[in-house]
Chains A and B, each alone.
Chain A
């Protein structure tokens, strides 16, 4: 833990009887690209606004580099925000928008002009300084908003769904661009988004929020491979979750009974070790075999009937109805190794136990 870490300690925010953020504790390391991921209404934007000072926590404490900023006025905090709506000042030119905070920080006029020009170059808008925001496209406005916040060289940059209003292609480009800028300037970025792919692409650390709490926090790959809960398993990518009952433990494995099938999960991949649970496997970790003899040694397998096959180019997505009635999703890469299955075919769905995980139901 270095000096400039942003710490949120036991923060709660209620609006009337609604609890937006519920006893949240987070440490956001200095210089990291941190994503707060969640569906709308999960409290991620409220958390961001409390860090910005636009909302005051009902309880708890926020510190930045050891300094308590919980009740500090927003205009005194070394924190800047890129707003979802950009909130550019329509009566000011692009250059004046970017210089807006700088002049208040006591930067001289000449210095400010230099830094504004530099920052506009960084976001590829060098030629647009004299334009009004209304004369720019959405993507350009977004970059002005970014420049306006970054030029102040804040300790922490807060991004509130900054790419939400852009079309898909532009969003992809801006994701790469934002990540590049973050690496270049080394400022802590706290990025709020509901787009799990965006969070995973950009952030070093992702906190998945649900109902005002953090469900799981970690590196994107780590969380994807071993989600902490059924919510995370479904929110980050897709998961097949099979209702199961823990029956015992042996040889470093937890054995479960899933609708009459005895299956094993490595003990290190189990969030629960007793009672009822959900056994999860990612669709791309499932394989199909027409012949039970083709199921590799040590793989877990269940039988089923293909109900749907949709070809998406890089892969084929199958829906396989298991004997207990629910459907499993299977992604088979289009590598030409296996022959395609047709709806109605009887198949065996199998996977390596090391790819499965067990979470509470």
Chain B
């Protein structure tokens, strides 16, 4: 190697030397960031930190108390064991349903988001509106309408009976299928939108480069498109999985006793049975579990590596 190239950039990233001391005008405005933070911070303290703390405290109350007699703080950690013994089936079922929902959502949303982002052309915006359109109606109303769609005398059941997928007494309502179908329907847009956002940014020239470097369509997808859309996949799975785990509307409206999810249990413990300590313990367990799962997921998905 005779002729040498300039090693432009030297040893690496440009280094900006900070000024020795900030000018006087800047020092005087140090409170500005705090002032900007304050409203949101106060809101979160009042309506998030305090309630969560209260919930945690309630999970340790005396399980023998009642709304009439009041609850004593007895630091009853055994509430957690009781809650687990009574409701671990619904608890694990919720995580399982949420997992299936998330996987189905990824499988449905990825091709859809890809089609809109890459092949959408001038229909892009219209298709996006189509994805968001369900939000114009309330969540509850939409889930009710699924009740009609999946009804025992409804067109879906009739058709499935006709092609002999369902037996003469078969039904969809009150089955796992109905609950998960409802969850998928309701959370699909939360998967499509972040996926669309990351696929839309994808530079098609990178795919040309991959093709030029001996990668066929499948390998180009696996080595370029998919890794570059991982931020969207991660965001979408979080937006799907977390609310789906705690959801109770779908299980309540479309499910039956055998498809009850933890959200319904917490709701009825709080509002029907008035068993505050167990309801609180279940809530705290759910939060902690999701927090741990999300932390593990995000750190293994490694999105911080994607520029």
Contact = CB atoms under 8 A, between A and B. Distances in A.
A101 B8 contact: no
Contact of A101 (B5, B214, B307): B214
A47 B191 CA distance: 41
A30 to B, nearest CB: 20
Contacts of A101: 212-215
A123 B307 contact: no
B9 A140 contact: yes
Interface in B173-226: 203, 205-206, 208-216, 219, 223-224
B299 interface: no
Contact of A54 (B211, B227, B306): B211
Interface string B268-306: 000000000000000000000000000000000000011
Contacts of B206: 87, 89
A104 B214 contact: yes
Nearest to B13: A135
B9 A136 contact: yes
B12 interface: yes
B8 to A, nearest CB: 5
A312 interface: no
Contacts of A148: 213
Interface string A67-95: 00000011110011101010111110000
B125 to A, nearest CB: 24
Interface string A147-161: 011001000000000
A75 B227 contact: no
Interface stretch (A38-46, A172-180, A321-329, A352-360): A172-180
B140 interface: no
Interface in A73-130: 73-76, 79-81, 83, 85, 87-91, 100-101, 104-105, 121-124
Contacts of A149: 212-213
Contacts of A152: 213-214
B228 interface: yes
A89 B224 contact: yes
A256 to B, nearest CB: 48
Contacts of B8: 137, 139-140, 170
A52 interface: yes
A42 to B, nearest CB: 21
B4 interface: yes
A124 B5 contact: yes
Contacts of B3: 176-177, 180
A253 interface: no
B6 interface: yes
A212 to B, nearest CB: 22
Nearest 7 Cβ contacts at the A-B interface: A101-B213, A87-B209, A124-B5, A104-B214, A137-B9, A90-B307, A74-B211
16 contacts: A53-B212, A74-B212, A75-B216, A80-B212, A90-B228, A90-B307, A91-B305, A105-B214, A124-B5, A124-B7, A131-B12, A132-B307, A139-B9, A140-B8, A149-B213, A152-B214
Interface of B: 1-9, 12-13, 203, 205-206, 208-216, 219, 223-224, 227-228, 305-307
Given A124-B1, A135-B12, A149-B213, 10 more contacts: A53-B211, A73-B211, A75-B215, A81-B209, A83-B209, A89-B206, A90-B228, A104-B219, A137-B8, A139-B9
